[in-house]
Amino acid sequence: MRHILRETLFLVWFLAAWYILALVVSYALYPDYKSDIIDTKESDKTIFQTSERYIIFALPKILSSPKKKIFFIGASNVRDGFRPKELQSVLPEYEVHNLAVSGSNITEMHDVVNILQLLPEDLMKKSVFVIGIWYGSFVDDEKHWGTANSSVITEALRYGLYRLDSGKPKLRVKMDYLSYATVLLRPCLFLQRLITKVYVYGDRLRTFAHNLLRKKRIDFSAVFNPRRPGLDEAYKRVALRRWQDFMGTKNGSFKDEQFEKFLDLSKLVNKSGAMLLIVDMPLPEWHRRGSPYWRNYQKKKNYYINEALKLGNVRYVDLELEIEDKDFRDSVHPQPEVTKQWGILLKTYIYQDEHRSTTL
Amino acid sequence: MDFVSVRFVIFMSFAILAFHLCSKKYRAKLIMPLLNAFFILTFVKHPTELWPFALFLVTGFWCIKLMERFPTKKNAALTIGAILTLFIYVKKYAFFSIVPFMRGVYLTIGLSYILFRILHILIDIYGGAIKERFSALTFFNYTCMFLTFIAGPIQRFQEYQAVERNLGEKVPLKREDIRKDLSRIVNGYFKVTLLSPVFLFIFNEFFTRIDSARYEATSFILCVVYTGACFVYTLHLYCNVSGYMDIVVSLGRFLGLQLPENFNKPFLSKSFLEFWSRWHITLSNWFKFYVFNPIVKALIQRRNKAGLIPYYGVIAFFVVFFLVGVWHGSSPAFLIFGLFLGFGMSINKLYEVLLRRRLGKKAYARVCESRWHRALGSGLTYSYFSMGATCIWMDFDKLMWLFRKIGIFGLLGVFLLGGLLAASVIALFSVLICWRDAGYERLYFLGRNLYFRQGYLSLKAFILLLFLVSKSHSVPEFIYKAF
């Protein structure tokens, strides 16, 4: 027995040494990202690597200054369309955080809002939530996540720092200790980065093998990264087909599920005392014209947005028709040069003195 | 209780402490049954899930008691028949789907292994190999020992008895042994939680391609993809089951329990016959003792002619490995598995008999030891086994579709391609091992250095812990748990 204990302790002692070494290496390769704001587009520069992990672990950053906050929540078009650094100069009284997660549907946005609810109540009351929606945000959970949780929740539960309480993420540790827990988990986060790299190479290998066997090249970049100047007709066709695959329903139809969740989300923000600005995200004209989802979405959204606006402290802005096609770099994302202009368009809505609801 | 869980680590720590701190007279009579019972209870959510399992155990015990008192041939047949019938009923074998099986969810984990242990006791009591009387506690400890409960190894009662007697003695553990066992536990977990999932991940890539190939792929592509799937799945299977055995056998030593080994570098086997003496050794031994030997004996009794005796082996191997295959699962796919294994063993035995007769003993041995024969033998053995293992990962309908799609020539192609691939990999692996050993020779001073060894071991353990804490992938279940 004495020998077992001695050998186990010896092993534990060495494990501790490896842990310290891994911690040091993680700091050497990925030092703490110096920024007071959370911008998920920058997540790759941090040890967290993904938007989800960045939101979950960097939450205490939001508490670092007493300024009023604006949280941008949505999918990648919100992440790319509203750049915090540009908006900071347009909205100087506010501290702008972009918490958009690529490929989010309303459920995931709801989860992000739930995580933000863990912040102090008084902070919530002086905050603005900007939720960017478009028809792709309303893809139903079964199609998007299958039986799994949203990626934000999956990441939150991964290391055991969060738990689910009636479907809502709650911290297991105090918010003050979250930064320390993050430091402790650095070796694991470092490992996750390495694994992701392996997956990327694995994916390349798989694509290579696939193309080798089938002789038919797969254009994985069809929607998200066209890698070609201008958007020709062939690209547009492929993009529209890919969005149809993404939505998964026939004839451009929608289930009520995500719209109901959208209403819940509006109520949740409203209950916290924060202001909610719903932004209908713009799409290029050819995308709107060619997608049966866009047309059905226009019909369906009105009821729910009107219901949300009845809550008070909720505003709505439709950017859909205000942006020209040339401002898009693909089927949904803006050109980098125009993002500041998008932010200026929002300014008037955020600065309205009276929190007046407007109906559609 | 999952072996890869914090719960198990706590449970095992408690078990080791209890074993070493408790008075020796309580180890077998109190600590062991309590640990076994607790371990089994962790698999059920409600006590009602336990009763078919308990019924099986009680029936087994009463059959043994009956055999102890009246060890007649009639009683042996009756008790063996009863226990087998109950087993088939409780396990809901699909071949007997006309029988109205029990409904609902209940515990069936470990039942196959318990069956082997009970049958072995019944046969040995009848044969006179076991003479002493059984207590219910000894029976429970033997059939349901928590370390071997899920997936074996199948220890013979005579060996177990010696182990149980030693439980009363002070557990003799040397520091160097503990170091080796700790290292083996880490290696076992490394195989189970890291290597096995990696191979499973790659296998899934192939499997999805096979699935999608239903509609588009040509037979040639399908053969290539199927070869890949077979090759990788066998690696996954090996890492999964041998890793589990590494953990179990080493943990057993911490408690002073000597458990039999179940794997001995099976992929270095030169033939399919040898493979089964290196893969799932305790299962093969069980079948050798209780099925193979009696069949050969019966055939010899029927017609005792020296020239025929080697051919009896061909028949007995077919029967034994048909049963081994069927034992692996309750779906019709396992009938095919059984036929496939039986066919492979018989053909291999026949080849051995005919070649030996033709070349003579010495020349045959020379051929077998030749480098090419060894390489080809190990490659084709791997390939054949991995093709057989398809029955574990593919259901009957899909299996039939695959056979129809690629045909007999396709199967042959997969066998040869897989054999070539396996032979190359095994040869490469052997070269790497030679290089490693040569390197070790040169770096022997490092290998002898305690800190270096501990550093290497702890690095593996550290990587393992990082993966487990990160939950970067789901750890696959122990495959043999389902059998």
CA distance A158 to chain B (A): 6
Residue B167 predicted with pLDDT over 90? no
- Contacts B472 to A, Cβ<8 Å: 191-192, 195
Residue B19 falls within a domain, yes or no? Answer: yes
Tell me, yes or no, if A191 comes closer than 8 A to chain B by beta carbon: yes
Determine which of A130-134, A265-269, B21-25, B374-378 has the lowest per-residue pLDDT on average: B21-25
- Contacts A195 to B, Cβ<8 Å: 470, 472
Kindly give the interhelix angle for B32-41 and B136-143, rounded to the nearest 10 degrees: 50
pLDDT of residue B211: 75
Inspect the interface and report whether the beta carbons of A15 and B469 lie closer than 8 Å.
Answer: no
pLDDT of residue A107: 93
Determine which of A130-134, B24-28, B70-74, B478-482 has the lowest per-residue pLDDT on average: B478-482
Residue A189 falls within a domain, yes or no? Answer: no
Which 194-233 residues of chain B touch chain A by CB within 8 A?
205, 221, 224-225
Q: Mean pLDDT throughout B451-470?
A: 84
Q: For chain A, what is the total number of helices (H) and then of strands (E)?
A: 15, 7
Q: Mean pLDDT throughout B87-100?
A: 72
- What is the number of domains present in chain B? 1
- Contacts B205 to A, Cβ<8 Å: 206
Residue A201 falls within a domain, yes or no? Answer: no
List pLDDT tens digits, range B222-249. Answer: 888 889 999 999 999 999 999 999 999 9
pLDDT of residue B101: 66
Inspect the interface and report whether the beta carbons of B458 and A17 lie closer than 8 Å.
Answer: yes
Residue A226 falls within a domain, yes or no? Answer: yes
Residue A110 falls within a domain, yes or no? Answer: yes
Which 10-69 residues of chain A touch chain B by CB within 8 A?
10-11, 14-15, 17-19, 22
Closest-CA residue of A relative to B454 is A11
A-interface mutation test, from B462, B463, B467, most A Cβ less than 10 A away: B462
- Contacts B175 to A, Cβ<8 Å: 3, 6-7
B-interface mutation test, from A5, A6, A7, most B Cβ less than 10 A away: A7
List pLDDT tens digits, range B400-444. Answer: 888 888 888 888 998 999 999 998 998 898 888 888 777 776 776
- For B467, which of A15, A19, A191 is closest by C-beta distance? A191
Length of chain B in terms of residues written: 483
* Nearest CA-CA partner of A104 in A72, A82, A65, A58: A72
Tell me, yes or no, if A162 comes closer than 8 A to chain B by beta carbon: no
Indicate if ipTM > 0.85: no
Residue A197 falls within a domain, yes or no? Answer: no
pLDDT of residue A353: 46
Residue B471 falls within a domain, yes or no? Answer: no
Per the prediction, chain B carries an average pLDDT of: 84
* Distance separating alpha carbons of residues B242 and B261, to the nearest angstrom: 10
Inspect the interface and report whether the beta carbons of A191 and B224 lie closer than 8 Å.
Answer: no
* Distance separating alpha carbons of residues A185 and B466, to the nearest angstrom: 9
Residue A230 falls within a domain, yes or no? Answer: yes
**Domain limits for position A346:** 36-184+218-351
Q: Which distant-in-sequence residues (6+ apart) come within 8 Å of A273 by Cβ?
A: A121, A124, A125, A313
Q: Show the tokens assigned to B478.
A: 């122990």
- What is the number of domains present in chain A? 1
pLDDT of residue A221: 43
Q: Mean pLDDT throughout B350-362?
A: 86
Inspect the interface and report whether the beta carbons of A15 and B175 lie closer than 8 Å.
Answer: no
Residue A17 falls within a domain, yes or no? Answer: no
Q: What is the CA radius of gyration of chain B?
A: 24
Determine which of A12-21, A253-262, B77-86, B300-309 has the lowest per-residue pLDDT on average: B300-309
Ranges of residues in chain A with a pLDDT under 50 are 217-222, 225-228, 353-360
H/E stretch holding A142? helix A141-145
- Contacts B471 to A, Cβ<8 Å: 158-159
Residue B434 falls within a domain, yes or no? Answer: no
CATH number where A152 lies: 3.40.50.1110
Residue B84 falls within a domain, yes or no? Answer: yes
Question: Burial code of B445-473, b = ≥16 C-beta within 10 A, e = fewer?
Answer: eeeeeeeeebeebbbbbbbbbbbbebebe
Inspect the interface and report whether the beta carbons of A15 and B461 lie closer than 8 Å.
Answer: yes
**Domain limits for position B78:** 6-167
Residue B118 falls within a domain, yes or no? Answer: yes
Residue B20 falls within a domain, yes or no? Answer: yes
Closest-CA residue of B relative to A8 is B182
* Distance separating alpha carbons of residues B146 and A91, to the nearest angstrom: 65
* Distance separating alpha carbons of residues B189 and B464, to the nearest angstrom: 8
Residue A206 falls within a domain, yes or no? Answer: no
B133: pLDDT confidence band, cut at 50, 70 and 90? confident
Residue B413 falls within a domain, yes or no? Answer: no
B50: pLDDT confidence band, cut at 50, 70 and 90? confident
Residue B277 falls within a domain, yes or no? Answer: no
pLDDT of residue B438: 79
